[in-house]
Every structure is written in structure tokens, then in C-alpha cells.
Amino acid sequence: MSGSASSASASRKYRLWVPAKYDPEVLSPLVMMLHGCTQKPEDLAEISGMNAVADRNNFLVVYPEQPLRANLLRCWNWFDPKHQSRGSGEPALLASVIEQLASSHNVDPSRVYVAGISAGAAMAVVLAATYPDLVAAVGVVAGLEFRAATSMAGGLAAMKKGGPDPEQQGLVAFQTMSKGLSERPKGRMPVIVFQGTADPYLNPLNAGQVVSQWAKTNQCLDGHNQDGGALDDGELTKSNVLGGHSFEKYVYKDGAGRLLMEKWMVDGMGHAWPGSPVNGDFADPKGPPASEEMWRFFSDTTMESLAHPTARKTLWDRLVHLLHGTRS
């Protein structure tokens, strides 16, 4: 089904996938999928296969559309300062999509996720930093760290050589989160990253920068913003897809031993969605199944977050507030 949502200054169309077993009486997770340059929502739905994952696991999927009037290549404008802050530009439009779906469907506010490829992945990172109160976790395929650039020329340079110091950008992301955190406190933002080592458009070092940036941001979220931002090497697993690419998977945990981030480096893969059900532009069936792994990561990290004492206290405080509001 299709729809549109508006902010103060503009609107965006979207396509919504509703799984066959959707029950309006039951809270449902929502995954927002952001397409890359030259793509449309239907293209990302096809190459990612996320709708099939949604059918098997019973969650909603929304695909916002970037029109030509906003960018001649249909890129999300992640590199433009007008689209890097809360309350304006494309982050506000995407937030309005989430809020509209929350009003029309029974969306679980603790299980709203955003993922994307290329420019869509970079905008997914921006949305997590500008609206942490709406986003529970992030999926990045061939993306960049938060505010890797503040101009189109800078964006092209970051794609080729990487962005600014990830530790500094981690602090910038944390500062950007302040308004959203006042709306809904949280102690972490889980992130999963996929990157091909033979990507001709995006230097693979950007994958490490995304992880390092969010390592610092998560350190700040956890209340340790004065500590060093160094990140260990993570727990490394090497494997391969039968008849396809080999890959390295790095797993990073927080101080409580909970899954926090993953980085998947796919040997020989280009600028593509790994494990795609189709073979075509920006799709590589020979990679690990990114959509399945994203959903597994989103589900696992959310369960661990909600099981944490701080999260339980926050949920209890919200319940008490609602009860008092009902009685007053």
C-alpha cells in the first residue's frame, strides 16, 4: 500500500508492506528502509528481499521515496547541513512517516528500526542521531559515519577517503541526540554494518568509521563520555557463503556483555546489498543474507536492551506516569 507524510515544509511518499499475518490488535515492529541513489522504493524492496523476511517474522516495512525534485539522482541529502538536524529537512520528514504509521497501525514504539544502502544508509545514521527517541537500532549497507560531510563536494571526498575523525563525530552525534534523549532516555544505539571490500564507489574504510563513531556515541550514551574512544578489535568470525563470497564478521559488546554492534566485511563484493534474492544493480546474491541478519540483530539487541535494569526502570516510570495521568 502507498501513502505520504508531511513535515512543516515538505512531504514524502512511501510504500508500506503489511505482512499477511499482521494483527491490528497486536503491537508490531516497524523497519524503515531507505533506498540509494537512482533507486525507488520498489527497487530496494526487490534487492533486499526484506518483505519476505517481514512475512516470516510478522513486522511492517516502510520504504520512503526520495523524489527528483529533492535530488536529481534521488539521493537522500545526508551531506547537507539542512538535513542533519532534528526538526527540519529530511530527518523530520522521515520522522513524520514513522509517526503517521504509528497513528494508523499498531506499531511498537520500542521496536522501530531504520536501515538503508549507500546514501540511504548514510541517512539512516543521520535519522538515528537526530531522532534517537524513535529509532531502536540501525542497519547500514555501504554507508558513512554521522556528518561525514557538510557539502556535496565533501560528501564525494568522504566516499573516496573517509570522513572526519570518528571519535569526534561520535561526540557530535551524541550532542545532536540531546533533544531526542530528553523525550525518551536511552543508554545505547545498536548498529550493524555491511560493506564490500571491492566497492568502487565507497572506500571500505568507511565501514570502520561508522563502527568507531557509534562506539564513541554509545560510550557517551552509557555515561562514559570522558573516557577514551578506543574500540577493541571485536570478536572475529571468518566464514563464507556456499558458492559465494567469504566474509569477516566482527562482533562488539557493551560493558554489560550485551551485543551492541556488528561489522560484516564481504570479500570481493561491490556496492551492493549482500544476499539479495535477485542479481542486478546494487544486488549480490553471493553475499551473506543481510536482511535476515539485520532482523536477527534488531530483535536480539532490543530484547537485551529491554532486559537491562535501566530499561526496566524507564518502562516502569512510564507506566507510573500513565497511571497517574489516568487518575488525575
pLDDT digits (tens, 9 = 90+) for 195-210: 999 999 999 999 999 9
Beta partners for residue 66, in sequence order? none
Contact in structure between 209 and 145 (CB atoms under 8 Å): yes
For the cut 90, the answer to whether the pLDDT of residue 321 exceeds it is no
Q: Exposed (0-12), middle (13-18) or buried (19+): which is 251, by Cβ within 10 Å?
A: middle
Q: Binning pLDDT at 50, 70 and 90, where does residue 233 land?
A: confident
- Residues 258-285 have a mean pLDDT of 97
- How much is the pTM? 0.92
- The residue annotated as part of the active site, out of 96, 118, 212, 276, is 118
Instruction: Give the pLDDT score at 231.
Output: 60
- What secondary structure, in 3-state letters, does 242-310 show? CCCCEEEEEEEECCCCCEEEEEEEECCCCCCEECCCCCECCEECCCCCHHHHHHHHHHHHHHHHHHCHH
Q: What is the total count of domains within the chain?
A: 1
Report the CATH number that the domain containing residue 292 is assigned in CATH: 3.40.50.1820
**Tens digit of pLDDT for each residue in 155-167?**
999 999 999 999 9
Is there a catalytic annotation at residue 118?
yes
The rounded distance, in Å, linking the Cα atoms of 195 and 264 is 6
Residue 146's domain spans which residues? Answer: 2-327
Q: Is 3 or 32 the better-scoring residue by pLDDT?
A: 32
DSSP state of 96: H
Contact in structure between 268 and 244 (CB atoms under 8 Å): no
